[in-house]
Amino acid sequence: MEFLKKTTSQTVVLEEATLFENSRPGACGIALPPLDVPAADVAKVFGNWARPNDLHLPELSEPEVVRHFTRLSTWNYAIDLGIYPLGSCTMKYNPRLNEEIARSGAILEAHPYDPEEWTQGHLAVMHELQEDLMRVTGHPAVSLQPAAGAQGELTGLMMIAAYHRAQGKPRKTIITADTAHGTNPASAALAGFQIVQVTTDQDGSVHPEAVKAVLNNDVAALMVTNPNTLGVFEKHIKTIADMLHEAGALLYIDGANLNAVLGIARPGDYGADVIQFNLHKTFSTPHGGGGPGSGPVTVSERLIPFLPVPFVEKKGDAFSLSFNRPQTIGRVKAFVGNYGMFIRAWCYIRALGGEGLRRVSEDAILNANYLRSQLKDVFNMPINAPTLHEVVFNDRNQRDSGLETTKIAKRLIDYGMHPPTVHFPLCVRNAIMIEPTETESRREMDRFVGAVKEILATPDVEQAPVRVPRERVDETKAARELKLRHVFR
Ligand SMILES: *Cc1c(COP(=O)(O)O)cnc(C)c1O
């Protein structure tokens, strides 16, 4: 336990009850002047809409409220505290420069109903971002609207459905891979498709024969993440794209893992018809808790007519929002999308430039391979393929000692580190999926490796985490018995 002593310390962490438990009848956070008009009869004014008197909203003073939330904030873990190696999620550091600019006056004060003469600068930024994203994927058109990766997926699938309808031959099936994020089949179902799954080979790629076996003229598209959630580049992707196109089907690439291929491989070049970005993953806009996200899509020629409106158009030196797309699927988000996230992603891209973005991916790959080299002798590696930006292990070597994936993950919390993604991708039993991103230093990765090795050497802690304000919670009960309205007795 030497390492545990070095990485964490016993400090005071204040216990905190809920606001409802802390409530003191009569306590108040504001002081209003005495009423100088007759009191209104709420029941008379609002009738049935009047708020019942027995709501039991919490009553607290201002300092009590401030302390409540400040205490809770000290229980949190964040990317600003240490490594956050959550595979597939790309939890990279959010540069402060982006925040500074996104919070500056002209940007904060812009209103979506401002006339276009006033918003030329904002439209120019969005136009540049559109151009940058197309340059990254090699596609000829883009929509910035979707609010997250999953909504980008839904947007892409709605365009795919519209494309087949426009051909006069609606198709009902989407093929997904067994490495898929849960959002892939969910988005496909929401867009009205049925789902067929193909299996990834031992070498970490989907093989053309597997696709051929399920490909027919009812298949609208294949949906696959590339590099996939095993951190492996789908090596047959071009062959598969050609097969799909020959069969009149399209290729959807889930772009959540673009962090591995910036400036290295462009989905548009290998036949992708649509790909969503996760600006909150690849381009460092805040992610998780701090949201919102942003999930722009770029598309091939085939899907351009169906893109959402509006999009930013440049004519001469003037920028405007264009709605001119007769076959559009419509809007998928109010106004232009999550503009604040565009600013942050634009800053990140501008700060790094093309060379810098390529370096991001090279460093992300280098870091993942460093962790692979440090941990490959302790963990089992179920897939033997070159690692890109994330590496997937499992707990096969640990089973005899009674340690398994969940226990290892929970014990890492005692070391003051966020656990990796576990039990995903689903095609690897008891997966441990690690993505350090390019923003971790070698020192921080060594701290992580040290913690993992000490945990594996001392498998005696049964109920980790034991050094945090809340010990192991019953996750099944928490999911099955949601108590969100508990307070409104
Ligand atoms: C994160 C992720 C998504 C979903 O993105 P959200 O922005 O969370 O909606 C989809 N696919 C993969 C592979 C992901 O990692």
pLDDT tens digit string along 86-114? 999 999 999 999 999 999 988 999 999 99
Nearest CA to ligand 1 atom 11: 181
Q: Of the residues 86, 88, 89, which should be mutated to test ligand 1's pocket, given the most ligand atoms within 8 Å of the CB?
A: 88
Contacts of 286 (CB under 8 A, 6+ apart): 94, 280, 344
> What is the C-alpha to C-alpha distance for residues 486 and 489, in angstroms, rounded to an integer?
7
Ligand 1 centroid–CA 150 distance in Å is 6
β-partners of residue 315 are 318
Ligand 1 centroid–CA 485 distance in Å is 29
Closest to 389 measured CA to CA, from 353, 409, 363: 363
Ligand 1 centroid–CA 88 distance in Å is 8
Degrees (nearest 5) of the Cα angle 419, 422, 426? 165
Token reading at 382: 């179920």
β-partners of residue 219 are 173
> What is the C-alpha to C-alpha distance for residues 214 and 247, in angstroms, rounded to an integer?
11
pLDDT in tens, 463-478: 899 888 888 888 888 8
Looking from the CA of 448 toward its CB, the CA atoms found within 13 Å total 26
Q: Which residue reads 């890109």 in tokens? A: 388
pTM of the model: 0.92
Q: Is the pLDDT of residue 166 over 90?
A: yes
Nearest CA to ligand 1 atom 15: 88
Q: Give the mean pLDDT of the chain.
A: 93
The confidence score (pLDDT) of residue 289 equals 61
C-alpha dihedral, 446 to 450 to 456 to 462, nearest 10°? -120
The alpha carbons of the chain give a radius of gyration, in whole angstroms, of 25
Ligand 1 atom with minimal separation from the 183 CA = 10
* Domain 100-351: assigned CATH number: 3.40.640.10
Q: Of the residues 151, 181, 421, which should be mutated to test ligand 1's pocket, given the most ligand atoms within 8 Å of the CB?
A: 181
Ligand 1 centroid–CA 467 distance in Å is 31
pLDDT in tens, 233-284: 999 999 999 999 999 999 999 999 999 999 999 999 999 999 999 999 999 9
> What is the C-alpha to C-alpha distance for residues 440 and 417, in angstroms, rounded to an integer?
13
Token reading at 130: 């559109």
> What is the C-alpha to C-alpha distance for residues 461 and 411, in angstroms, rounded to an integer?
8
Following DSSP, what letter does each residue of 8-22 receive, concatenated?
-----------HHHH
Looking from the CA of 45 toward its CB, the CA atoms found within 13 Å total 6
